Amino acid sequence: MENIFEFENKIDIAWCPGCGNYSIHKALLAALQELGLAREKVVLVSGIGQAAKMPQYINASFFNGLHGRALPPATAIKACYP
């Protein structure tokens, strides 16, 4: 079954070869697929930095905020779209 959260075309990922973020990315894609959510209902929220680029590599909406400040915008997004 095709994972709707993966991009159709190959994307260039800026992580270093062997980075642990690849495993996290794979697990997150699998979890999102298993949850059965519509892609339009998913918003990933992160800070800044290499690990925070994760949302850019998932085919869903995302918000990148300030380093260490992901919870306030995530809470606001959840409050607006229950």
Domain range for 73 is 38-82
What is the residue type of 16?
A: C
For residue 49, tell me if it sits in a domain.
Answer: yes
For residue 19, tell me if it sits in a domain.
Answer: no
Instruction: Write down the pLDDT at residue 1.
Output: 67
On the 0-12 / 13-18 / 19+ scale of CB atoms within 10 A, 5 is buried
Ranges under pLDDT 50 in the chain: none
For residue 20, tell me if it sits in a domain.
Answer: no
Instruction: Write down the pLDDT at residue 48.
Output: 82
Domain count, the chain: 1
| Secondary structure element (H or E) that encloses residue 29, with its range | helix 21-35
For residue 11, tell me if it sits in a domain.
Answer: no
For residue 8, tell me if it sits in a domain.
Answer: no
Q: Which residues contact 34 (CB under 8 A, 6 or more apart)?
A: none
For residue 70, tell me if it sits in a domain.
Answer: yes
Instruction: Write down the pLDDT at residue 51.
Output: 74
